[in-house]
Amino acid sequence: AVVSTQSTGMEMERFRPNIVAVEKQPFADEGWAEVKVGEAVLVFCHRCTRCSITNVSPEGIRTDYTMNSLREKRPRCEKTNKPVFGSYFKVKCSGLVKPGDKIMLIKSQ
């Protein structure tokens, strides 16, 4: 999953992402169809719906702030009514991905 938390004020770690996008434009991933990260090429699958696990920090501290904030700030999934935050991508071309690698947009949605 790709997550951008810059404009939400929430700790990125609560979302347990695999790749974090640090973009000037919040929610930039919502317009991506295909990206290259390091040597890998990824294709958009679907948006991430979020459950209450985001209320628990990696240290085990529980709060209702995260879900309440997402419910107020983010659109909801039509099927589940859960807040949408982040994107799932599948691997089109495997390759090495390292911390600090840039995300290069190949194709927009």
Q: Which amino acid is at 72?
A: E
Residue 8 has pLDDT above 60, yes or no: no
Distance CA 106, CA 40 (A): 12
**Rg of the chain in Å (alpha carbons):** 14
pLDDT-wise least confident of 34-38, 57-61, 71-75, 103-107 = 57-61
62 or 19: which carries more pLDDT confidence?
19
The pTM for the full model equals 0.70
User: CA dist 3 to 15, 100, Å?
Assistant: 8, 15
pLDDT more than 90, % of the chain: 30
Q: Note whether 8 and 73 are within 8 A (CB).
A: yes
Confidence of residue 52 (pLDDT cuts 50, 70, 90): low
